[in-house]
């Protein structure tokens, strides 16, 4: 009760100001919020794409590098480079082997016979204790060994081995240490990585294989990287995500498995979330300042429009109060505009003119001028009839009765303007849909120059739609060419701005040319809302729209392959309620068939006679 009294005590200027201001603030902050989050998503997507490109490039480069070392060693064996070393190891010198290593781009070459006995090595025999099973495996086939976990220094040690054959006869195995400094150089290339970007390798034991650019004092094998990105890459999936890295810092991470035989490695490319968010934070600050500036303009315009509406109403109210006390205005009240407010002012002016004429007529009668003439304003002018009747009676009984009973009659004629509920419905179904197109299109911006023109076109269409709503005018294509052309144009716009395939089929027996215009408008709005729901809420990629006639009914079926929903548990939104109300106005039926993750199908039947 207190709230109602407080609201009633507000002046009309205050009410108009608050209503306009509330609407403007909500719209302004909604657009700013939407633009900020849309831009944030687009920027993060571009960052993920850049990280993914770097990740793929370095992954491919490392795989090609290891493949090159593998091919070099195979070619050397096939060309007999190691034949003399295998047959006569005692004649071989360290300088000769060093020359071979330099030419092949390898380090520490080991030679073993078929029994696993080391034939030659230019360094100490036990520098690396290679597992016997690995030596045996290399005598049979090409193999790799990640020795990092066994190395006491926890530095990356990668061995490559293959059978040592002479004239196609297996004489043992040749094992070489891959120069990991070249791999490290590939990973440390930071072009396009920003200040905190990093690409590194993780082994099967979830420890690093490449050195960290942040923990430079720790060997790679001692740094544990047990993050979701590592497990996701090992499972064969690729999904960019925001995680906590091995330092416990939030990062944007992209990971993939390295395709090298016997090497269960994962390559990760990451950048700190704080660095990636810097442009978004700057943009949010700019949006806030812009929003506040526009808000100041909105407040100024709100004050202006509120006063422009309230001042004439206040003036009319003051005049009506004077008239109610029997005081007539000296100057006639003139309407400035021809809108509803202007019509009300003109009606009140006519009412006051009529009261003035009746008062003057009554004054003349009271002064004894019983021959004074008066013309009723209308056949239903009861007050005029009463005055004329009083004049006639006075004429008949002028010599009998001199006491004239003064009659007071007060009549106020109030005109009532009927508010149209269709304004709310049209604002939702018309302007709301155009704004939806704008939101979908902005989320797909790739070329700023082209998008500026498209946004201008969308805004122009939205303005035209608003004008059509305010003047009760439907889409021009619907008025000029009918429902079929309007739906066809709508489907084309949907495909153009959303990328969703809309398959529209009008069967030959479905004649839409004889439908009433109001039927066309309602059906068009229902189809428009259904298509927008499929794109905006269901993330559909394909929509099928069928129209055909059967047994005197116009049947419409709209089917999409989107996410669907449970009609029993999900509460209907305003869009669905409006669709059902429009179909009900046409005496039709509206049925929704939807299941989660199985799409949605809408069935509509409308009698052709509607």
Q: What is the mean pLDDT of residues 391-406?
A: 49
* Lowest mean per-residue pLDDT among 99-108, 146-155, 310-319, 420-429: 420-429
Query: Regarding predicted confidence, which is higher, 277 or 463?
Result: 277
Query: H/E/C letters for each residue in 17-58?
Result: HHHHHHHHHHHHHHHHHHHHHHHHHHHHHHHHHHHHHHHHHH
Q: Is residue 64 part of a domain?
A: no
Q: Is residue 287 part of a domain?
A: no
CB 541 within 8 A of CB 500: yes
Query: Regarding predicted confidence, which is higher, 2 or 59?
Result: 59
Out of 372, 396, 420, a domain closes at: 396
Q: What is the mean pLDDT of residues 588-609?
A: 87
Neighbours of 389 (CB within 10 A): 10
Residues 504 and 602 occupy one common structural domain: yes
Q: What is the mean pLDDT of residues 566-573?
A: 68
Residues 189 and 171 occupy one common structural domain: no
What's the pLDDT score for residue 125?
Answer: 43
* pLDDT beyond 80 at 365: no
Ranges 262-266, 424-428, 514-518, most confident: 262-266
Q: How far is 360 from 374, CA to CA, in rounded Å? A: 10
What's the pLDDT score for residue 255?
Answer: 92
Environment class of residue 86 by beta-carbon count within 10 Å: exposed (0-12), middle (13-18) or buried (19+)?
buried
Residues 480 and 585 occupy one common structural domain: yes
Confidence class for position 225, pLDDT limits 50, 70, 90 = very high
* pLDDT beyond 80 at 131: yes
Q: Is residue 497 part of a domain?
A: yes
What's the pLDDT score for residue 452?
Answer: 58
* pLDDT beyond 50 at 250: yes
Q: Is residue 202 part of a domain?
A: yes
Residue found by looking up tokens 């009676």 in the block: 393
String of DSSP letters for 59-111: HHHHHHHHHHHHHHHHHHHHTTTTHHHHH-GGG--HHHHHHHHHHHTEEEEEE
> Mean pLDDT over all residues of the chain?
76
Residues 157 and 242 occupy one common structural domain: no
Range of the domain at 270: 182-278
Q: Is residue 110 part of a domain?
A: yes
Residues 195 and 230 occupy one common structural domain: yes
Q: Is residue 191 part of a domain?
A: yes
* pLDDT beyond 80 at 230: yes
Question: pLDDT > 90: what percent of the chain?
Answer: 13
* pLDDT beyond 50 at 339: yes
Out of 278, 297, 316, a domain closes at: 278
Of 386, 368, 369, whose CA–CA distance to 377 is shortest?
386
Residues 355 and 476 occupy one common structural domain: no
Q: Is residue 187 part of a domain?
A: yes
Q: What is the mean pLDDT of residues 455-477?
A: 57
Question: For the sheet containing 600-607, what is the strand order?
Answer: 501-506, 542-550, 553-560, 600-607, 589-594
Residues 516 and 573 occupy one common structural domain: yes
Q: Into how many domains does the chain fold? A: 4
How confident is the model over 300-328, as pLDDT tens digits?
877 777 677 766 777 777 777 766 666 66
Q: What is the mean pLDDT of residues 70-93?
A: 81
Out of 262, 278, 294, a domain closes at: 278
* Lowest mean per-residue pLDDT among 117-121, 139-143, 465-469: 465-469
Q: What is the mean pLDDT of residues 345-370?
A: 65
The CATH number assigned to the domain holding 193 equals 3.30.450.20
Residues 339 and 384 occupy one common structural domain: yes
Residues 601 and 483 occupy one common structural domain: yes
Q: What is the mean pLDDT of residues 266-270?
A: 93
Structure tokens at 250: 């939030």
Q: Is residue 383 part of a domain?
A: yes
Instruction: For residue 44, give Cα distances in angstroms to 49, 239, 271, 275, 480.
Output: 9, 13, 11, 11, 45
Residues 473 and 596 occupy one common structural domain: yes
* pLDDT beyond 70 at 497: yes
* pLDDT beyond 80 at 217: yes
Structure tokens at 513: 């040319």
What's the pLDDT score for residue 296?
Answer: 80
The CATH number assigned to the domain holding 579 equals 3.30.565.10
Q: What is the mean pLDDT of residues 519-537?
A: 84
Residues 206 and 173 occupy one common structural domain: no
Query: Regarding predicted confidence, which is higher, 267 or 87?
Result: 267
Confidence class for position 266, pLDDT limits 50, 70, 90 = very high
Residues 141 and 239 occupy one common structural domain: no
Q: What is Dmax (Cα atoms) for the chain?
A: 164
């Amino acid at each position: 009760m207190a709230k109602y009294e407080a609201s009633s005590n507000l002046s009309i200027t205050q009410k108009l100001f608050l209503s306009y201001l509330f609407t403007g603030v909500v719209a302004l902050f909604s657009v700013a919020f939407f633009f900020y989050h849309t831009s944030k998503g687009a920027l993060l997507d571009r960052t993920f794409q850049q990280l993914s490109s770097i990740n793929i490039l370095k992954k491919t480069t490392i795989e090609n590098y290891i493949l090159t070392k593998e091919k070099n060693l195979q070619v050397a064996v096939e060309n007999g480079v190691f034949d003399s070393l295998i047959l006569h190891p005692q004649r071989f010198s360290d300088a000769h082997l060093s020359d071979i290593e330099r030419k092949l781009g390898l380090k520490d070459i080991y030679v073993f016979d078929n029994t696993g006995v080391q034939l030659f090595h230019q360094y100490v025999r036990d520098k690396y204790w290679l597992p016997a099973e690995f030596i045996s495996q290399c005598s049979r086939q090409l193999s790799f060994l990640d020795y990092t976990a066994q190395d006491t220094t926890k530095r990356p040690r990668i061995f490559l081995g293959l059978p040592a054959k002479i004239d196609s006869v297996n004489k043992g195995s040749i094992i070489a240490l891959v120069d990991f400094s070249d791999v490290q150089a590939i990973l440390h290339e930071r072009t396009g990585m920003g200040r905190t970007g990093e690409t590194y390798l993780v082994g099967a034991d979830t420890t690093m294989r490449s050195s960290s650019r942040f923990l430079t004092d720790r060997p790679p094998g001692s740094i544990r990287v047990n993050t979701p990105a590592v497990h996701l890459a090992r499972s064969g999936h690729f999904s960019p995500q925001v995680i906590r890295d091995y330092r416990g810092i939030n990062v944007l991470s992209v990971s993939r498995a390295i395709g090298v035989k016997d090497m269960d490695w994962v390559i990760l490319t990451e950048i700190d979330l704080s660095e990636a968010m810097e442009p978004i934070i700057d943009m949010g600050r700019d949006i806030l300042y812009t929003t506040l500036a526009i808000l100041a303009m909105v407040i100024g315009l709100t004050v202006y429009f509120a006063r422009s509406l309230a001042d004439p109403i206040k003036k009319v109210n003051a005049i009506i109060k004077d008239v109610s006390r029997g005081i007539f205005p000296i100057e006639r009240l003139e309407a400035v505009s021809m809108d509803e407010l202007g019509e009300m002012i003109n009606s009140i002016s006519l009412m006051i003119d009529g009261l003035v004429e009746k008062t003057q007529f009554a004054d003349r009668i009271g002064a004894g001028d019983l021959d004074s003439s008066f013309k009723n304003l209308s056949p239903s002018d009861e007050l005029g009839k009463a005055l004329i009747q009083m004049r006639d009676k006075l004429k008949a009984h002028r010599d009998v009765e001199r006491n004239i009973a003064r009659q007071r009659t007060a009549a106020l004629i109030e005109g009532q303007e009927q508010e149209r509920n269709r304004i709310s419905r049209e604002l939702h179904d018309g302007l709301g849909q155009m704004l939806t197109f704008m939101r979908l299109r902005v989320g797909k911006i790739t070329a700023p120059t082209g998008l500026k023109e498209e946004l201008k076109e969308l805004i122009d269409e939205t303005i035209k739609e608003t004008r059509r709503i305010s003047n009760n005018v439907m889409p021009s294509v619907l008025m000029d060419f009918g429902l079929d052309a309007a739906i066809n144009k709508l489907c084309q716009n949907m495909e153009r701005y959303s990328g969703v395939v809309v398959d529209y089929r009008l069967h030959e027996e479905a004649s839409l040319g004889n439908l009433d215009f109001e039927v066309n408008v309602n059906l068009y709005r229902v189809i428009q809302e259904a298509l927008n729901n499929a794109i905006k809420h269901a993330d559909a990629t394909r929509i099928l729209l069928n129209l055909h006639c059967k047994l005197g009914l116009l049947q419409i079926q709209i089917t999409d392959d989107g996410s669907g929903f449970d009609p029993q548990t999900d509460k209907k939104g305003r869009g669905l309620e409006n669709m059902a109300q429009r179909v009900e106005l046409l005496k039709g039926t509206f049925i929704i068939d939807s299941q989660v993750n199985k799409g949605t199908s809408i069935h509509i039947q409308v009698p052709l006679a509607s």
